[in-house]
Structure 1
Amino acid sequence: MTDEKLQDDIGVAVTTDVSPEVKGLRDKFGDQLLSVVMGLDCEVVTLARESIADACHFLKNEQGYEQMMDLCGVDNSELPGWSDASPRFEVVYNLLSISRNKRIRIKVGANERDLVDSVTEVWPTANWFEREAFDMYGIIFNNHPDLRRLLTDYGFEGYPLRKDFPMMGRVEMFFDEAQWRCVYRPNKLEERILIERTWPGVDRG
């Protein structure tokens, strides 16, 4: 896939001065590599969701990215310019090569019921990171060894970091002395928004 073809297909300019890792991804995965941009600290590569596990194996075993430093979810539903035609969520993988002292960031898109292949077989540390993304966003990781909630209660409903989740929550928990256990009741607090949410540069002239 040439730089010109990438720019024509997705409207993202990709310079010829890309790292050997990105060139290797492009040669191996072809059209599965959707975009490459230079972030503040490293290259950011967006891949097709179906190729993430194979790409991570490639980056670890052939490109020397021994560690996955972080995995997180992103809800794009309130991002300016986002539309229903685009995936609502992103899964972001921050990788580190200790031997080369380099970092790379990989992204894949997913909707609510899409399955994202787990990368726990590549980096076991992904186990709890993926559980957190499942708990907070509802992103489903295929072939995960133990995909359960991690930060919220077992009976918790909803996904707290989704943009449409109420900031005050839907229920409140308290300890009932009579029943001698924690119980839930509907949240009666009123949500107060004192400052409108803005995006940098939108209202600054």
Structure 2
Amino acid sequence: MTAALPPALQDLADYVSMSVGESVAEIESIRGELIVWTSTERLVELLTQLRDDQNLLFKQLVDVTAVDYPDRQQRFEVVYNLLSLKHNQRLRVKLAADDETTVPSVAAVFSSAIWLEREVWDLFGIFFGDHPDLRRILTDYGFEGHPLRKDFPLTGYVEVRYDEDQKRVVYEPVKLTQEFRTFDFASPWEGMQGILPGDEKAAEQQPGGEESKA
């Protein structure tokens, strides 16, 4: 464990380790959240056990997402967020993957994974084996690349929009304004010159012409 857990989460961690230990590579906690690491070979088995065990009943797959760490050998963390309404508990399952890894689809365990895995495939390029309908879901037809990868270029691609004058969808090169590229992250207060509206009240004249020292 990476941090002390509340008693309820500690009990959950102990039970998961005992009941599905063979499917668990590591258990850790970050900011009070329990995270279970597994492998691609054990993923479906683990999620099935977490769903069906009467002391767990994580029957709701809230989300499937990913995080990209380009400098790592296995650059992706694939993340599954689970919810047990019966026991009012949450659990996060993670596994590591790279560009060549085929992650097994969990659509047979949670039907909500069908669209969620399509989104991860579309945006990160992580391939899910045995998925019933692995197509892009957010980007346009013919889109190249996966836009949430950290090495995805910001320019050189096209974007689509509906042109009201032409009454059709048009393709245009992606352009970033110069103001976006050279945005000044300094606080606007630091560069403020002169007197802001209302500041004149701090230098009100007292009767007789002297400024208030309040």
Larger radius of gyration: 2
Per the alignment, residue 149 of structure 2 pairs with 162
> What is the aligned length?
179
Once the two structures are TM-superposed, the CA of residue 30 in structure 1 deviates from its matched residue by 4.8
- Deviating more after overlay: 171-180 vs 32-41: 171-180
Unaligned runs of 5+ residues in structure 1 are 1-11, 78-82, 197-205
Aligned partners of 2:101 and 2:127 also within 8 Å: yes
How many angstroms apart in 2 are the aligned matches of 1:104 and 1:44? 6
Task: State TM-score, norm by structure 1.
Answer: 0.73
Counterpart-to-counterpart distance in 1, 2:101 and 2:142: 23
User: Is residue 25–residue 55 contact of structure 1 (8 Å, CA) maintained in 2?
Assistant: no
Partner of 1:8: none
Contact 2:61 2:80 survives alignment (8 Å) = yes
Deviations 1:125-156 (A, max 9, x none): 11111000000000111111000000011200
Match of residue 60 from structure 2: 67
CA contact (8 A) 1:135 1:150 kept: yes
Alpha-carbon distance between aligned partners in 2 of 1:68 and 1:175, rounded to the nearest angstrom: 35
Q: Distance in 1 between matches of 2:86 and 2:158?
A: 48
The question of whether the paired residues in 2 share the 8 Å contact of 1:159 and 1:165 is answered with yes
How much does 1:35 deviate? Answer: 2.2
Larger RCO, structures 1/2 (Cα 8 Å, 6+ apart): 1
Structure 1 residues 168 and 57, CA gap change in structure 2 (3 angstroms): same
Give the corresponding residue for 1:76.
69
Corresponding residue of 1:34:
25
Structure 1 residue 52, shift from structure 2 partner: 0.7
Q: Is the 8 A contact 1:95 1:103 kept in 2?
A: yes
Q: Tell me by how many angstroms 1:167 deviates.
A: 3.2
Match of 2:171 among 178, 184, 203: 184
What percent identity do the matched residue pairs reach?
Answer: 39
Does structure 1 retain, via aligned residues, the 8 Å contact 2:78–2:95? yes
Give structure 1 regions of 4+ aligned residues with deviation exceeding 4 angstroms: 12-21, 27-32, 174-181, 188-191
Residue 45 of structure 1 and its aligned partner are, at CA, apart by 1.1
The unaligned stretches of length 5 or more in structure 2 are 186-214
How far apart are the structure 2 equivalents of 1:142 and 1:15? Answer: 37
* Separation of aligned partners in 2, 1:24 and 1:126: 25
Q: Please say which of residues 136-145 and 30-39 is displaced more in the overlay.
A: 30-39
Matches within 5 A, 1:46-65: 46-62=37-53, 63-65=56-58
Alpha-carbon contact 1:43-1:105 (below 8 Å) kept: yes
Offset at 1:67?
0.6
1:21-170 equivalences under 5 Å are 21-27=12-18, 30=21, 33-62=24-53, 63-77=56-70, 83-85=71-73, 87-168=74-155, 170=157
2:76 touches 2:98 (CA, 8 Å); kept in 1? yes
**TM-score normalised per structure 2:** 0.71
What is the Cα deviation at residue 187 of structure 1? 3.4
Superposed CA offset, 1:87-122 (max 9, x none)? 111111110111111111000111112110111111
Question: Kindly tell me: are residues 157 and 71 of structure 1, through their superposed partners in 2, closer, same or farther at Cα, counting changes over 3 Å?
Answer: same
Partner of 1:129, secondary structure, is helix
